[in-house]
A and B are shown apart, each in its own frame.
Chain A
Amino acid sequence: MLIPCPWCGDREDIEFKYGGAAQIAYPTDPEAADDAAWARYVFVRPNPKGKMAERWVHTAGCRRWFSLVRDTVTHEITPGRPGGKA
């Protein structure tokens, strides 16, 4: 699978490490979150069949984190942007 690094261009997937779902915001005030809300942040992640916003880091390259949208069925990738908030 070729992954489009926003800094280095298309590279083989072995150069990258997977960072899980994107768009999981760190709670602005963790201490204010109740147990259920905090557990959702820590443990609950989407696992769709289809398009998924993901974070990747170009570990064996520029070491930058970025986000993209990958179709988990076809591996079709829509480039995202630097950083991981997406």
Chain B
Amino acid sequence: MTRLPIGGRIDRSRPVRFTFNGHVYQGFAGDTLASALLANDVRVVAKSVTYGRPRGVFGTGVEEPNALVQVGPEPMLRATQVELVDGLEATGLNGKGRLTAQPESGRFDKVYAHCEVLVVGGGPTGRTAAHAAAQKGDRVILLDEQANPSLDDFGGLPANARVLLRTTAFGLYEQNLVLAAERRDGGGRLWQIRAREVVLATGAHERPIVFANNDRPGIMLASAVRTYVNRYGVAPGTRAVIFTNNSSTDVVAADLKSAGIVVEAIVDVRAGEAVVDTLAESSPDPPSPLVGEGRGGGSLKSVIIAPLTGGASREVECDLLCVSGGFNPTAHLYSQAQGKLRYDERFACFRPDGKLPNVTVLGAANAEFDFSIQPLWLVPGRDGNWSTHFVDLERDVTVVEMQRAVGAGMRSVEHVKRFTTIGTGSDQGKTSGINEVALVGTLTGQPIGGVGTTTYRPPYVPVSFALMAGRNRSDLFDPIRLTSIHSWHVGHGAVFENVGQWKRPWYFPRHDEDMEAAVLRECRAARENVAVMDASTLGKVDIQGPDALEFLNRMYTNAFDSLKVGSCRYGLMCRADGMVFDDGVVMHLGPDHWLATTTTGGAAAVLDWMEEWLQTEWPDLRVRLTSVTDHWSDVAVVGPRSRDVVRTLFPNLELGPESFPFMAIREGETGGIPVRLHRITFSGELAYELWTPSWYGLALWEAVMAAGEPLGITPYGTEAMHVLRAEKGYVICGQETDGTVTPQDLGMSWIVSKKKAFIGQRSHRRSDTARADRKHLVGLLPIDGEELLPEGAQLVLEQNGPAGVKMVGHVTSSYRSATLGRTFALAMLQSGRERFESTVYAPLNGHVVAATVTEPIFYDKENVRRDS
């Protein structure tokens, strides 16, 4: 045991049992896994990622590059940051961790907070700053990444100051938004803190010096050794050598002696000496089960010391080498927020320039040091070999890789970083980054300050996806929108599909029906009898005001001047580039009162689009827009016998084709349910859309089902809806169109007014928009009527054309039709309207499907059924 008999901020009354690599060990409450492993003389903790070299504890916190462990499902933790708890089971990484196949079971939440002063870092500097700010009456939040018991002693902090322990600030964004990760039992919290002033009291990280075989277990940062001795009451070795280039290590020897560690030598660059190499213990043979992954193979046995000017070297036996190459201010957050770092010659480090507004950097983070230093970054080996001079311990990158990068012509530290991967490990190069900068300077003959640092980016420490996600998982990932009739659909076995945030019935299988059988049956019912669909998800925009008509005329390609109150009209909208944007039905409800429906997925975008023009270009128009999508439920009663169902519900309404014609609107009531009836069709059949305030939606649906039951009314879903509309050649914006399709491409010139101005009009005369060989909407009938073309399939003109044959179009919709007794498709095809009756080919994986080009309408071209 190398636990010291007294000392340390550990609770010796609370022993903690844990296992490492299957061996049972004991530590104390207050230990980290790293301090407990050192207390148990476990020196080899992990194997390095590329070369498989044995590695031991190197630091004490986030900077640790070596002692990587797997704890349960967590594949890559720093042993220096794992709080020791009873029953902890850890294994050292053999290169890489293993992701668990189990879903995350931890509890993660998000917290939002605001304060005047946020202090990052709970050391003496941060505590003083927090105290001063709190005494002024500011709301103060003090973060510290450790479970630092000394903070508990920090009494007298007013109630307006809040201390968060185990909380790491990992991102500083514009306007002082700080993201912080709080570790809690069984999960954590993601803090999003907005602060008027941010105080960075983040301290500094000690950096190593690069020499041959500088990665052996037993080689540690000098300040880390002091921490293990003083804070954890652990002696990380028995015989030590100190290797330093600065006076911060003056206190190390005294600490080592107080812990009973023999100081064999102090190698000081300022005295002209350096460690030039290290030697390792040989592996026990056979490996002793008692030492396990312990002392043995690969850990430090001795160091080779030589004068910097050359000359005779000496070997000194030791099991601990305390290295200090100076200190780097922890300026990651400052740099993330686009603060600049400048090189400080006196302390040989990069420090914040102090110019970032509303951010104050204090203490060691601001390079407020009191040591002297003679910079030394790299010690040549004894034999000219650089392959064990590790610059980045976690990434296993040596000086050889850096020489290769510079030899290939790279000068920028950013390029060298990406070529060598220095600084890209989970430690983000906290012990390697500045050494990389210095070595790029050395290898390219630039001053260090001129090389500059790489850009620091969030997160400062690894942050789990589970923490980022918080509760926004599965059902809470995105809002789910349900119609007022949803419970009926669930109760009747509907299979749902997602349309934007909506859950829509896709089809209603009966008994053992598969999708194809169900859809064919639903389509047949709509064509031959009567069927019903929940169309409540249609977007709806209420439009009111004296200039509403003028507004609609500008927004839509067609005009609404002649549309009487109580009637509706199909409308199409284009973007300024002339491409189709959305479509829907515009209803004239009263003087200065209109309502426009939109596609289900386009509702929000259409409202934004309308508001944009109204507010930014036409603020003089007296028009107000309101989204009423959720206000109305829409029950579409469809089919040749739909009139019978509607008559049962509204016996007093005149329903004949003359008194209630296609595209007319009527008001009615059935069983106390107020209903607005529209003769609108999206199937091509005689059809009625019955609208009622959503409160009545389910009641209306059930009334329709009851009235239709004697006729065998059939509920249908979105798939049958798609088939029915495609048989009629009705396009769906976003399926036939993709932002590159004009109304003319769709063969819908009839809806493009030549008498009034509308958005996109001028673009229809652009040379590219007006050319004759654009892709046109066409129908396709596969020659083999059983062959179903996949949507998205590309079309060519030759069956066995050469490789590189030109693609002339693509399939946009493709279905099996009950009505046609065969498959059919819609497609966008170059010069399509000149190719009717010709054959095109869809090369698929393994075979080619031939199809005849037709008009894009397959059913009731004369609209007899629609108008009946």
Q: Which A residues are closer than 8 A to B by beta carbons?
A: 1-2, 17, 19, 26-27, 30-31, 33, 35, 38-39, 41-43, 55, 57, 59, 63-65, 73-76, 82-85
Given contacts A38-B766, A42-B763, A74-B338, contact A83 B619 (CB under 8 A): yes
Measured between beta carbons, the chain A residues less than 8 angstroms from B699 are none
User: Mask for B726-758, Cβ within 8 A of A = 1, else 0?
Assistant: 000000000000000000000000000000010
Contact A57 B611 (CB under 8 A): yes
Q: Which of chain B's residues have a CB closer than 8 A to the CB of A63?
A: 607-608, 611
The answer to whether A26 and B615 touch across the interface, beta carbons within 8 angstroms, is: no
B751-791 contacts to A (CB < 8 Å): 757, 761-763, 765-767
Tell whether, in the assembled complex, residue B762 and residue A30 are in contact, meaning their CB atoms are under 8 Å apart: yes
Contact status of A35 and B612, CB under 8 A, knowing A30-B761, A75-B174: no
A83:B762 contact, CB within 8 angstroms: no
B762, A31: Cβ atoms closer than 8 Å: yes
B616 within 8 A of A: yes
Residue of B nearest to A86 (CB): B616
With A1-B175, A75-B174 as given contacts, are A65 and B612 in contact (CB-CB < 8 Å)?
Answer: yes
Q: Chain A contacts of B767 at CB under 8 A?
A: 35
Contacts of B619 in A (CB 8 A): 83
Cβ-based interface call for B577 (8 A): yes
Q: Residues on B close to A: CB < 8 A?
A: 173-175, 194, 338, 576-577, 604, 607-608, 611-612, 615-617, 619, 757, 761-763, 765-767
| Residue among B577, B616, B762 having the largest count of chain A Cβ atoms under 10 Å | B616
Q: Which residue of B lies closest to A76 (CB)?
A: B174
Taking a contact as CB atoms closer than 8 A, the residue among B576, B608, B616 that contacts A59 in the complex is: B608
Q: Contact: B615 with A42, CB < 8 Å?
A: no
In the complex, which residues of chain A have a beta carbon less than 8 angstroms from the beta carbon of B765?
35
* Choice from A1, A38, A65, A76 contacting B762 with Cβ under 8 Å: A38
**Cross-chain contact A65 with B616 (CB below 8 angstroms):** yes
On whether the beta carbons of A42 and B608 are closer than 8 Å, the reply is: no
* A42-B577, A57-B608 known; A65+B615 contact, CB < 8 A: yes
Chain B proximity of A73: nearest CB distance (Å): 8
Instruction: For residue B557, give the distance in angstroms from its CB to the closest CB of chain A.
Output: 14
- B625 closest partner in A (C-beta): A63
Q: How far is the CA of A43 from the CA of B619 in the complex (A)?
A: 24
- Which of these, B576, B608, B615, B616, contacts A17 with CB under 8 Å? B608
**Residues in B whose Cβ lies below 8 Å from that of A38:** 762-763, 766
B contact residues around A57 at 8 Å (CB): 608, 611-612
Closest to B605 in A: A17
Specify which chain A residues have a CB less than 8 angstroms from the CB of B604 in the assembled complex: 59
Contact, CB under 8 Å: B577 / A65: no
Q: Which chain A residues border B762 with CB–CB below 8 Å?
A: 27, 30-31, 33, 38
B763 and A84 contact, CB distance less than 8 A: no
Judging by beta carbons under 8 Å apart, are A64 and B338 in contact? no
Residues in B neighbouring A31, C-beta threshold 8 A: 757, 761-762
Cβ contacts under 8 Å, B194 to chain A: 2
> Can you list 18 A-B contacts with CB-CB less than 8 angstroms, sorted by A residue number?
A19-B616, A30-B762, A31-B761, A33-B762, A35-B766, A38-B762, A38-B766, A41-B576, A42-B576, A55-B616, A57-B611, A63-B608, A65-B611, A65-B615, A74-B174, A75-B175, A83-B616, A84-B615
* B399 to A: closest C-beta gap in Å: 36
Q: How far is the CB of B831 from chain A (nearest CB, A)?
A: 22
Which of B175, B607, B616, B766 is the one whose CB lies under 8 Å from A84?
A: B616
- Distance A57 CA – B175 CA, assembled complex (angstroms): 20
Residue in B closest to A73 when the chains form the complex, CB atoms: B338
A76–B604 alpha-carbon span in the complex (Å): 29
Query: Does B612 contact A64, Cβ atoms closer than 8 Å?
Result: no
Known: A31-B762, A35-B766. A19 touches B612 (CB 8 A): yes
Residues of B within 8 A of A73 (CB): 338
Q: How far is the CB of B110 from chain A (nearest CB, A)?
A: 13
Write the nearest CB–CB distance from A67 to chain B, whole angstroms: 8
For A17, the chain B residues whose CB sits under 8 A away are 608
| Closest beta carbon of chain B to A71's beta carbon, Å | 10
Measured CA separation A19–B611 after assembly (Å): 12
| Across the A-B interface, the 5 shortest Cβ-Cβ residue pairs | A84-B616, A30-B762, A75-B174, A65-B615, A2-B175
**Which B residues touch A30, using CB under 8 A?**
757, 761-762
In the assembled complex, the CB of A11 is this many whole angstroms from the nearest CB of chain B, namely: 12
**A17–B611 alpha-carbon span in the complex (Å):** 12
Q: A17-B608, A38-B766 are in contact. List 4 more A-B contacts (CB 8 A).
A: A1-B173, A35-B766, A57-B612, A59-B604
- Residue on B nearest A30 in the bound complex, by CB: B762
Question: Which of chain B's residues has its CB closest to A37's CB?
Answer: B762
Closest to B611 in A: A63
Q: Write out the residue numbers on chain A whose beta carbons fall within 8 Å of the beta carbon of B617.
A: 26, 84-85
* Given A57-B608, A75-B174, CB of A64 within 8 Å of CB of B615: yes
Residue of A nearest to B112 (CB): A12
Task: Please report the C-alpha to C-alpha distance between residue A26 and residue B763 in the assembled complex, in whole angstroms.
Answer: 13
Q: CA of A83 to CA of B615 in the docked complex: distance in angstroms?
A: 6
B23 to chain A, nearest CB (A): 49
Rounded to whole angstroms, the CA-CA distance of A17 and B576 in the bound complex is 19
Q: Inside 8 A of B761's CB, which chain A residues have their CB?
A: 30-31
Residues of A near B175 (CB, < 8 A) are 1-2, 75
CB closest residue in chain B, given A43 = B577
Q: A65 vs B175: C-alpha distance in the bound complex, in angstroms? A: 23
Task: Give Cα A39–Cα B611 distance, bound, in whole angstroms.
Answer: 24
- Taken together as a complex, chains A and B put the C-alpha atoms of A26 and B618 apart, in Å, by 10
**Which chain B residue lies CB-closest to A10?**
B175
* Residues of chain B within 8 A of A82, CB atoms compared: 615
The complex places the Cα of A38 from the Cα of B767 at a distance, in Å, of 12
Nearest chain B CB to A80's CB is how many angstroms away? 12
CB B514 to nearest CB in A, in angstroms, measures: 41
Instruction: Determine the distance from Cα of A74 to Cα of B174 in the docked complex, in whole angstroms.
Output: 8
A42 to chain B, nearest CB (A): 5
Complex Cα spacing A59 to B336, Å: 29
User: Smallest Cβ distance from B478 to chain A, in angstroms?
Assistant: 13
Q: How far is the CA of A35 from the CA of B768 in the complex (A)?
A: 10
Q: Which residues of A contact B173 (CB under 8 A)?
A: 1
Give bound CA distance, A39 to B612, whole Å.
20
> Across the two chains, which residue of chain A brings its CB closest to B613?
A26
Identify which of B173, B576, B615, B619 gathers the most chain A CB atoms within 10 Å of its CB: B615
Min CB distance, B522 to chain A, in Å?
37
Expressed in whole angstroms, the minimum distance between the Cβ of A33 and any Cβ of chain B is 6
Q: Which residue of A lies closest to B173 (CB)?
A: A1
CA of A42 to CA of B338, assembled, Å: 34
Q: Is the CB of B616 within 8 A of A85?
A: yes
CA distance A75 to B172 in the complex (A): 13
Is B766 a contact of A39 with CB atoms below 8 Å? yes
CA distance A41 to B607 in the complex (A): 23
Given the contacts A31-B762, A42-B577, A1 and B615 also touching, CB distance less than 8 Å: no
Determine the chain B residues whose CB is within 8 A of the CB of A75 once the complex forms: 174-175
The CA of A84 and the CA of B766, in the complex, are separated in Å by: 27
Please name all residues of chain B whose beta carbon is closer than 8 Å to the beta carbon of A64 when the two chains form the complex: 611, 615
In the complex, what residue of chain A is closest to B577 when comparing beta carbons?
A: A42
Set of chain B residues within 8 Å of A83, measured between Cβ atoms = 615-616, 619
Chain B residue contacts of A42, Cβ below 8 A? 576-577, 763
Query: Which residues of the other chain, A, contact B607 by a CB distance below 8 angstroms?
Result: 63
B576 surroundings in chain A (CB, below 8 A):
41-42
A35 to B770 alpha-carbon distance, docked (Å): 12
Complex alpha-carbon distance, A21 and B599, angstroms: 27
A15 → chain B closest CB, angstroms: 13
> Bound complex: CA of A35 vs CA of B766, how far in Å?
6
Q: How far is the CA of A1 from the CA of B192 in the complex (A)?
A: 12
Contacts of A85 in B (CB 8 A): 616-617
A41 to B577 CA separation, bound complex (whole angstroms): 10
Cβ of A26 to closest chain B Cβ, rounded Å:
5
Q: How far is the CA of A64 from the CA of B765 in the complex (A)?
A: 33
CB-CB < 8 A to B577: which residues of A? 42-43
> Roughly how many angstroms separate A17 CA and B607 CA in the complex, as a whole number?
13
A30 to B174, CA, bound (A): 41
**Assembly CA distance A31 to B577 (angstroms):** 14
Q: Given the complex, which residues of A lie within 8 Å of B766, measured CB to CB? A: 35, 38-39
